[in-house]
Chains A and B, each alone.
Chain A
Amino acid sequence: MLAYLKRFLALPTAALGLVALVLLALAAIFAPQLANQNPYDLASIDILSSRLPPGTASVDGYIHWLGTDDQGRDLLSAVLYGLRVSLTVALVATSIALVIGVVAALFASYFGGKVDAILMRLVDLQLAFPSILTALVLVALLGTGLDKVIIAITLSQWAYFARTLRSAAMVERTKEYIDAARTLKFSSSRIMFRHLLPNSVAPLAVVIVVEIASAISLEATLSFLGVGLPITEPSLGLLISNGYSYMLAQQYWLSVYPGLVLLLLLLSVNLIGERMRQMNNPWG
């Protein structure tokens, strides 16, 4: 594990990505402690101080480092809470998708035959559509809201996990240790989860990281388009969208700062994923 980390950090961009991600994650976790105000607490925001430029001092004595939004919220606080929402949605959706994908892939590769054929047709069907389209249609049919967005992201992602793990597991299942486990009359679930899974997990790790990034991006897009999270739970995408209307009035900070945080978040996750992919590659 330590050797892996050392090799991982050998590439400066990967190290940078990891540091940035850790900082962002800490900022998201400790948002309530770091923020000047709770942006959802209507009592603490003042509509009179709406759209103040960055650096303005507030009536309560602290400084709005990133200015305020159209409701008079401190933008820094809103961004911290938005980061929290974005990360939570992405992690929850990816985890559910991962579980579904892993179970489907293990069943497909272990039982083979008809089970495999049916499950993989489903995967093909899913992969035939770009995830943004799947998510849009699901949101269109189910309605908007936190749970609907998570369902939409999950459904547009599980197939990637299923396909990756299946192709790795297909190679593993023909190996002798699986025959040995079968001869020992281990139960199917024990062979699937204790033998097949741990041995085919390496390529899956890369896909997990990449999919977390795409979940963040998908949620931001949905929220930006106004068909994602409700206004009561502003994620980064929603903050950008809110600020966008004031862009033409030169009040750039409303969109630009949440946008930069989103950029940093996505880049750091993708840099990590890229390095992991490189390390799996024999020429890396």
Chain B
Amino acid sequence: MASYVLKRILQGLFLIWLMSIVAFVAIYALGNPITALINPNSPADVIERVTRELGLDLPLHEQYFRFVGNLLRGDLGQSYVTSQPALGLILERFPATLELTLVAMTIAAAVGLPLGLYAGYRPQSLVGRGASAISMVVLSLPSFWTALALIIVFSIQARVLPTGGRGEIGFIFGVPTSLATLDGLRHVLLPALNLSAFPMALFIRLTASGVQETLHATFIRFARAKGLTVRRILFVYVLRNIVVPVITVIGIVFGVLLAFAVVTETIFAWPGSGRLIIDSIRSSDRPVIIAYLMFTVTIFIVINLTVDVICALLDPRISLQGGK
């Protein structure tokens, strides 16, 4: 078990190192960052001074060492636009994204898993057919489309929910959150619902197909022959067998959602890190883009590692084989 975890951590570190090279190349090799920083028509001496101040006149490998040195100290450069530390900007916005993602995941799991269980158990029933049809439609649609549909229905036609913004922020145990106030809840509902559409559809599909497959297994037939109740078969025998893939997917989807939040946050004017990245892309603010990239990669790796360890704990077959 320990060697398995160690191996996974080393793989994760290798991936982060790989990303640091990508990030470096992206900032320094693709085009001169100077042109993004100051007016290219500035006098030659100004351009030269700024180049020297930023260390852009050094040879590439020295720039890379400086870059990695700064990286290790948590310094991912400063925004070209606001001159604030790039990582600070992201960390400042990240709690809003995390909150949105957690609410979305909760909605998705609370609706998707039971629906998927039922749809797998009774695929021909009305609920079963409906669930798979809806998940099919949702998985086909880009999330900006569903976001617009939600806004048209709930904000423009019915006028019951706001079109965007975060609303009033309250405190629960000293943590600032929109969930503490009614106004905040009204604001979080539509974006969270929109963000939850994709994982919900995925959960429905995954649990449904998992249940269907497991129901074909011999041990289910034996459980039936033993006269066990349907409830016990479904919630103990079947559920235990599909829990590993479901946890894996929850982990992966959580990471995906942090990225998907880019679209949702932009449309609903949610002040999270996803909106920040779109603004940065539009203004070619490379340090912020790179910082976001490194930050997201690290989170992805931590999530994947956690998921792998949990799955290895739940299913001893995984760690014994030493990987997938």
Measuring CB to CB, which residues of chain A are less than 8 angstroms from any residue of chain B? 125, 128-130, 132-133, 136-137, 139-142, 213, 217-218, 220-221, 224-227, 237, 240, 244, 247-248, 250, 252, 255-256, 259, 262-263, 266-267, 269-271, 274
Contact at B280–A220, with CB atoms within 8 Å? Answer: no
Residues on A with beta carbons closer than 8 Å to the beta carbon of B15: 125, 128
Q: Give the interface segment out of B83-91, B222-230, B254-262.
A: B254-262
Contact at B259–A129, with CB atoms within 8 Å? Answer: yes
Once bound together, how far apart are the Cα atoms of A247 and B156, in whole Å?
Answer: 8
Residues on B with beta carbons closer than 8 Å to the beta carbon of A136: 262, 277-278, 281
Contact at B266–A225, with CB atoms within 8 Å? Answer: yes
Q: List 14 A-B contacts (CB under 8 A).
A: A130-B256, A133-B259, A133-B262, A139-B281, A141-B289, A221-B143, A224-B263, A225-B144, A237-B144, A256-B152, A259-B149, A266-B141, A267-B137, A270-B140
Q: Which residue of A lies closest to B132 (CB)?
A: A274
Contact at B145–A262, with CB atoms within 8 Å? Answer: yes
Residues on A with beta carbons closer than 8 Å to the beta carbon of B151: 247
B291 to chain A, nearest CB (A): 12
- Partner among A128, A137, A237, A269 whose Cβ is within 8 Å of the Cβ of B289: A137
Q: Tell me, yes or no, whether B139 is within 8 Å of chain A by CB.
A: yes
Known contacts A125-B15, A266-B140: does B289 contact A140 (CB below 8 Å)? yes
Q: Which residue of B lies closest to A241 (CB)?
A: B144
Known contacts A130-B256, A221-B143, A259-B145: does B152 contact A227 (CB below 8 Å)? no
Known contacts A125-B15, A267-B140, A270-B136: does B293 contact A221 (CB below 8 Å)? no
Contact at A244–B148, with CB atoms within 8 Å? Answer: yes
Q: Which residue of B lies closest to A220 (CB)?
A: B142
- Partner among A128, A213, A220, A247 whose Cβ is within 8 Å of the Cβ of B300: A128
B133 to chain A, nearest CB (A): 9
Highest count of chain A CB atoms <10 Å: which of B142, B148, B281, B286: B142
Residues on A with beta carbons closer than 8 Å to the beta carbon of B148: 240, 244, 247, 255, 259
Contact at A137–B278, with CB atoms within 8 Å? Answer: no
Contact at B141–A217, with CB atoms within 8 Å? Answer: yes
Contact at A129–B140, with CB atoms within 8 Å? Answer: no
Residues on A with beta carbons closer than 8 Å to the beta carbon of B286: 140-141
Beyond contacts A133-B262, A137-B293, A140-B289: 16 other A-B pairs, Cβ-Cβ < 8 A, are A129-B259, A129-B297, A129-B300, A132-B260, A136-B277, A137-B26, A140-B277, A213-B140, A217-B140, A218-B142, A220-B144, A221-B263, A224-B263, A225-B266, A227-B282, A259-B149
Contact at A248–B156, with CB atoms within 8 Å? Answer: yes
Q: Is the interface of A mostly helix, strand, loop or mixed?
A: helix
Known contacts A130-B259, A140-B280: does B152 contact A247 (CB below 8 Å)? yes
Residues on A with beta carbons closer than 8 Å to the beta carbon of B278: 136, 225, 227
B302 to chain A, nearest CB (A): 12
Q: Which residue of A lies closest to B256 (CB)?
A: A130
Q: Mark B10-28, 1 if CB is under 8 A from A, else 0.
A: 0000010010000000100
Residues on B with beta carbons closer than 8 Å to the beta carbon of A237: 142, 144
Q: Mark B275-313, 1 if CB is under 8 A from A, else 0.
A: 001101110101001000100110010001000000000
B20 to chain A, nearest CB (A): 13
B232 to chain A, nearest CB (A): 25
Q: Which residue of B lies closest to A249 (CB)?
A: B156
Q: Tell me, yes or no, whether B30 is within 8 Å of chain A by CB.
A: yes
Once bound together, how far apart are the Cα atoms of A221 and B148, in whole Å?
Answer: 12
B136 to chain A, nearest CB (A): 6
Residues on B with beta carbons closer than 8 Å to the beta carbon of A224: 142, 144, 263
Once bound together, how far apart are the Cα atoms of A244 and B148, in whole Å?
Answer: 8
Once bound together, how far apart are the Cα atoms of A128 and B156, in whole Å?
Answer: 38
Contact at A141–B30, with CB atoms within 8 Å? Answer: yes
Contact at A142–B145, with CB atoms within 8 Å? Answer: no
B296 to chain A, nearest CB (A): 7
Highest count of chain B CB atoms <10 Å: which of A129, A137, A217, A220: A137
Q: Which residue of B lies closest to A138 (CB)?
A: B26
Contact at B18–A125, with CB atoms within 8 Å? Answer: yes
Contact at A130–B260, with CB atoms within 8 Å? Answer: yes
